[in-house]
Amino acid sequence: MKKSINVLLFLLVSTMFLACEKKVQTDMSAIHWDRDMCSRCVMVVSDRKHAVQVKDPQTGKSYMFDDIGCTALWFEDEKIQWKDKAIVWISDASSQKFIDARSAFYDTGNITPMSFGFWAHKTKDTIPKGKEIFSYDEVISKIISK
């Protein structure tokens, strides 16, 4: 009887500690247009066609960017160790809704806030015919190599 009470007490205390553990938020954070600043160039994020949000999956901390180019250079300049695990959202050029940047399709030659020229698209269908299509990794690589 005493043994089962000790086991029950142990389970109760363990559950209390687990309930107190803070969960890391990996969802998108709220965006404060015209107030949030780019984490790299410190320009106010106001262009809804090109905004990027990066979230550290370990801490849940969010970082805003005004252009995918600033995101790529920030990863590189700040030597972000978790960049391959980062959760990255980018505005879809057509709908201006946030999409997964890693699964997006990109074209170039566009006017963007920091003149990197890459637009993100949820599907290839919204990219004008004849334009070259890039993946997320190709875009990051092209920006860093310039």
Task: Tell me the per-residue pLDDT of 121-145, one tens digit each, with 9 for 90 and over.
Answer: 999 999 999 999 999 999 999 999 9
pLDDT at 17: 52
Assess if residue 2 is contained within a domain. no
Q: Decide if pLDDT at 19 tops 70.
A: no
Could you report the per-residue pLDDT of 42-90, keeping only the tens digit for each? 999 999 999 999 999 999 999 999 999 999 999 999 999 999 999 999 9
Assess if residue 14 is contained within a domain. no
| Mean pLDDT, residues 18-47 taken together | 86
pLDDT at 23: 75
pLDDT at 141: 97
Per the structure, the count of domains in the chain is 1
pLDDT at 4: 59
CA atoms within 13 A on the CB side of 79: 0
pLDDT at 73: 98
Assess if residue 87 is contained within a domain. yes
| Mean pLDDT, residues 34-49 taken together | 95
| Mean pLDDT, residues 33-45 taken together | 96
pLDDT at 24: 75
Assess if residue 7 is contained within a domain. no
Assess if residue 5 is contained within a domain. no
Q: Decide if pLDDT at 8 tops 90.
A: no
Range of the domain at 32: 25-145
Assess if residue 9 is contained within a domain. no
Assess if residue 75 is contained within a domain. yes
Assess if residue 10 is contained within a domain. no
